[in-house]
Structure 1
Amino acid sequence: MRPSFDLEGLRAMVVGIDLGSFARAAVQLGRSQSAVSMQLKRLEEQAGHPLFQRSGRGLVPTEAGEALLAYARRLVTLHDEAGAALGAAKPPPTIRLGLPQDFFEDVMPDALAAFSQIRPNTHVAVRAGRNYALEEEVKAGRLDVALAFAEPGRAATGELLAVLPMHWFGHEDAIELLRADLGGLPLVLFDHPCLFRQAALKSLDDARISWRLSLTTPSLPGVWAALRFGLGVTVRTAHAVPTEMPRLDGLLPRLPTLELRMLVQAKPSGTAGDLIDILKTAAGRRLADIATAPAERHASSRTC
């Protein structure tokens, strides 16, 4: 017998994979997680093949799942277009935005406030992420647009928005940490992989300064909290740094710069295009005081 696929199950599959989480898909679709799980299980029974496999704490599509996903997108789109043609209520469009945590308190609110003025009925799904993950999500079509840090000199992807110097930061008591011999300089860093972490460790190794990991975390607020309690020093740009965190650049080795790039899907919608323009303006305004012009960076690199 030919399989007959449940359309709402296909919709749950598409939304869950796009959001990177079937738990988030359940929230967006207004269903319970158990209901979504049952729909996915029913899809596998209808397909006669495993469609998902566990990866870490989530699910990713199998080869059969990837094949069905392409058809699922088309079927769901055609279904919604047919409903719209007959006058059925059309769900609000969704724009998927990815950002490093550094921009959650200023760039994101600025951009979304302006975006809501011209696209008041658009749902914006915001995802915090690491640079490598954000780039992969945009390439895979699971994010429409993202801001991500990039290492200067690597193969460029996306549009260069700013060049940002990196700095050492620590609590006012951090100077005592630098003078103390506690088995190496205590560092508070993101988990691996992280461009800030790589820059910190390389600069210390090149200067032959011993170090130790005092605390690692995937949370930027967690980094600042650890520094407030004197657990070590860290590396970030000068953007959105707590006022009580002084720079320690003169006490530690010089750090390189980072590029901030805008990553966009290959064929962004008009709605995504509006957010892209607004996000670019908001980032430029917030970073103007700390960014280094690209031309200046290239000129200085030629003289080194």
Structure 2
Amino acid sequence: MSQRGFDLTQLRTFVAVAESGSVSAGAERVFLSQSSVSEQLKKLEERACQPLFVRSKQGVSTTSAGERLLDHARRIIAMSEAAFDDLQGRSLDGELRIAITDYYRPHDIARILKTFSEQHPRLKLHVTVQPSTVIDSGADDRASFDIGLSARLVTSQTRARGGAAASTVVRREKLLWMSAADTAARAAAPFQLVVLPSTCQLQRFVVKLLDEHKVPYVVSHSASGVAGLQLALKAGLGISCLNESSAGNGVVACPANTGLPTLPAVEFHLLPGRPGESELVSNARTALTRLFA
């Protein structure tokens, strides 16, 4: 009887390439050469008896069959890791409170947390989305949350002092000036600026940067969160600064010749463990580090 099913290693590689959008980026995630990744994908497509990717100069995107397999692959990998953790005595059982900045991969965060829940079915998860300043200020407050994922700008000042002490950086992204796809090429001073409340460290930095470079602007719209800011940009209400993974459909980077100042990168980091925290929280932080990276 012929063997049924898929190779787990090939599925991991497939997910890495599908999520990163290119073979080269996927290869970096699974620590393999591009040729090895290409060979694995070829074998997987042969196993599936149909193409799983559409390839172009811009990268790869999943076919309809690839999209269906992607959903299965994520669940299969999650169940495999859950079984391994259970046998190693690392299965998470209890309640966990996580605070996450709304800048962190807003289009992917629900899927990431779903994967985490599938890996640890006995864990009851409570998630709140908060500004990074609120998360950082609650780092020592056990009543606020158990694990915090915050964002910080990578500037010469933060590099000099080492940023958030003992935190674990899980991701770094470019910051970009963004606007609606059909207005980006026409962006010019005085710029119509879409902002968030002044409690947002990134928005305070943006306003200060424009003032320092004497770039003319007018605040055209104020949003309460990243989701509202994305909608305002898509509607063509102005420009704003966002990290790469926050760009959605209809929102693109402004051309380099618009006269806007250069932006730093942003890092997302898990806050360090608190003295005396439970084994559950410590193990959960380790598991989340793998998923958030």
TM-score strictly above 0.5 = yes
How far the C-alpha of 1:233 sits from its partner, in A, is: 0.6
* Cα distance per residue 1:44-103 (max 9 Å; x no partner): xxxxxxxxxxxxxxxxxxxxxxxxxxxxxxxxxxxxxxxxxxxxxxxx722010111233
Query: After the TM superposition, which residues 98-247 of structure 1 pair with which residues of structure 2 at under 5 Å, given as runs?
Result: 98-102=99-103, 103-117=105-119, 119-141=120-142, 142-152=144-154, 153=158, 155-157=163-165, 158-175=167-184, 178-179=187-188, 184-247=190-253
Residue type of the partner of 2:147?
A: V
How far the C-alpha of 1:105 sits from its partner, in A, is: 3.6
CA contact (8 A) 2:175 2:242 kept: yes
Report which of the two structures shows the higher radius of gyration computed on alpha carbons.
1
What CA RMSD, in Å, does the superposition of the two structures yield over aligned residues?
Answer: 2.2
Residue type of the partner of 1:280?
A: T
SS at match of 1:218: coil
How far the C-alpha of 1:265 sits from its partner, in A, is: 3.9
Residue type of the partner of 1:209?
A: V
Structure 1's unaligned 5+ residue stretches are 1-91, 285-304
SS at match of 2:169: strand
Q: Which of the numbers 278, 281, 286 marks the counterpart of 1:269?
A: 278
How far the C-alpha of 1:167 sits from its partner, in A, is: 0.6
SS at match of 1:116: helix
SS at match of 2:270: strand
| Seq. identity, % | 17
CA contact (8 A) 2:106 2:246 kept: no
* Corresponding residue of 2:84: none
How far the C-alpha of 1:126 sits from its partner, in A, is: 0.4
* 253-262 or 243-252, which deviates more: 243-252
Q: What is the alpha-carbon distance in structure 2 between the residues aligned to residue 94 and residue 104 of structure 1?
A: 23
Q: What is the alpha-carbon distance in structure 2 between the residues aligned to residue 283 and residue 228 of structure 1?
A: 27
Residue type of the partner of 2:183?
A: A
CA contact (8 A) 1:199 1:256 kept: no
How far the C-alpha of 1:151 sits from its partner, in A, is: 3.1
SS at match of 1:101: coil
Residue type of the partner of 1:107?
A: I
Structure 2's unaligned 5+ residue stretches are 1-92
SS at match of 2:221: strand
- TM-score normalised by the chain length of structure 1: 0.56
Question: Moved runs in structure 1, 4+ residues, more than 4 A?
Answer: none
Q: What is the alpha-carbon distance in structure 1 between the residues aligned to residue 242 and residue 227 of structure 2?
A: 12
Q: What is the alpha-carbon distance in structure 1 between the residues aligned to residue 196 and residue 236 of structure 2?
A: 17
Residue type of the partner of 2:145?
A: L
How far the C-alpha of 1:162 sits from its partner, in A, is: 3.0
Q: What is the alpha-carbon distance in structure 2 between the residues aligned to residue 98 and residue 122 of structure 1?
A: 16
Q: What is the alpha-carbon distance in structure 1 between the residues aligned to residue 106 and residue 181 of structure 2?
A: 25
Residue type of the partner of 1:281?
A: R
- TM-score normalised by the chain length of structure 2: 0.58
The count of residues paired between Structure 1 and Structure 2 equals 189
How far the C-alpha of 1:143 sits from its partner, in A, is: 0.9
CA contact (8 A) 1:165 1:258 kept: yes
Q: What is the alpha-carbon distance in structure 1 between the residues aligned to residue 265 and residue 184 of structure 2?
A: 24
CA contact (8 A) 1:146 1:263 kept: yes
CA contact (8 A) 1:174 1:233 kept: no
Q: Which of the numbers 260, 267, 286 marks the counterpart of 2:268?
A: 260
Residue type of the partner of 2:231?
A: A
How far the C-alpha of 1:115 sits from its partner, in A, is: 4.0
